[in-house]
């Protein structure tokens, strides 16, 4: 495989696993987060180093992992996305029930040389797929049950510790206690871009089906520039899950597929005004992280 296009497995990278998936779902609606003419994946990085220096040691790989996932200086890193919520059932073609818009905000605090505490919280809002209207608190006619359901946003969060283990693999564990788990990822190089392809494992006792797969794209020169405290990125993600609780149809055969594309933004000011209004209502604690 040419030098600029090759796959790097975990053995090639000292066993260090990849970027944890950022989140799910987002909107097909009008209004895009402002990008301030900023390249999403760091094309204008001061460095044009196309080598694999970013992964030369476990320490550099871990530092770059955190720079992609968040901001070493502790600033907020909102990962915004837009996508669809699709119903997959045995008897008909997949059906888009909602457009969706979401943001997973991450913030890290350095505990010591190779250990970070990371907070993450995500809110997804569901939208009318035709008009883009946010449906939080509104009545929705469920096409499977014929009932009217009140739409609710999806809000989840986590508080984890990130650190390498003795084999150099990046692990995360709940800050409240628990066993560390190595993050799972393969790395694919394409020209001056690095694709971090990951999946998230779920215990078998969780609802079935439940799976998540995603790809994060970053600039190799940006990774090789040690100066910035954060690295820009774009991503896509797909999530398979049981029906949202507000749909009130646990007996309905099938499952939901969330599909999303998005990017790491520089702050809440780059999110859509409509989404921010919902964030002020449902997750004001997260917006306070930027204070």
- Would you state the pLDDT for residue 95? 98
What residues make up the domain containing 142? 5-290
For the chain, the domain total comes to 1
- Would you state the pLDDT for residue 169? 84
- Would you state the pLDDT for residue 279? 98
- Would you state the pLDDT for residue 81? 98
**pLDDT tens digits, one per residue of 30-58:** 344 444 444 455 545 456 899 999 989 88
- Would you state the pLDDT for residue 168? 82
**pLDDT tens digits, one per residue of 270-283:** 999 999 999 999 99
- Would you state the pLDDT for residue 5? 45
Ranges under pLDDT 70 in the chain: 1-47
SS (H, E, C) the chain: CCCCEEEECCCCCCCCCCCCCCCCCCCCCCCCCCCCCCCCCCCCCCCCCCCCHHHCCHHHHHHHHHHHHCCCCCCCEEEEEEEEEEEEECCEEEEEEEEEEEEEEEEEEEEECCEEEEEEEEEEEEECCCCCCECCCCEEECCCCCCEEECCCEEEEEEEEEEECCCCCEEEEECCCCCCEECCEEEEEECCEEEEEEEECCCCCCCCCCEEEEEEEEEHHHHCCCCCCCCCCEEEEEEEECCCHHHCCCCCCCEEEEEEEEEECCCHHHCCHHHHHHHHHHCHHHHHHHC
- Would you state the pLDDT for residue 1? 35
């Amino acid at each position: 495989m040419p030098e600029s296009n090759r796959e790097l497995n975990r053995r090639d990278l000292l066993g260090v696993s990849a970027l944890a998936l950022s989140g799910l779902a987002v909107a097909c609606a009008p209004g895009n987060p402002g990008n301030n003419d900023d390249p999403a994946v760091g094309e204008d990085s001061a460095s044009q180093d196309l080598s694999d220096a970013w992964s030369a040691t476990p320490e550099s790989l871990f530092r770059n992992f955190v720079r992609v996932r968040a901001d070493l200086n502790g600033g907020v890193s909102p990962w915004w996305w837009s996508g669809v919520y699709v119903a997959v059932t045995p008897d008909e073609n997949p059906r888009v029930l909602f457009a969706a818009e979401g943001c997973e905000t991450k913030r890290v605090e350095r505990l010591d040389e190779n250990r970070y505490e990371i907070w993450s919280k995500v809110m997804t809002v569901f939208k009318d797929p035709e008009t883009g209207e946010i449906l939080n608190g509104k009545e929705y006619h469920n096409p499977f049950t014929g009932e009217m359901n009140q739409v609710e946003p999806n809000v989840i969060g986590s508080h984890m510790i990130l650190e390498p283990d003795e084999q150099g693999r990046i692990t995360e564990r709940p800050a409240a206690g628990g066993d560390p788990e190595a993050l799972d990822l393969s790395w694919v190089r394409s020209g001056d871009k690095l694709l971090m392809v990951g999946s998230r494992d779920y215990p078998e006792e969780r609802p079935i089906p439940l799976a998540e797969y995603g790809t994060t794209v970053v600039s190799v020169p940006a990774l090789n520039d040690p100066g910035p405290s954060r690295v820009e990125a774009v991503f896509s993600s797909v999530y398979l899950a049981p029906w949202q609780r507000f749909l009130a149809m646990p007996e309905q055969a099938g499952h939901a597929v969330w599909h999303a594309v998005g990017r790491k933004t520089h702050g809440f000011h780059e999110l859509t005004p409509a989404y921010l209004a919902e964030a002020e209502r449902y997750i004001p604690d997260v917006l306070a992280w930027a204070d």
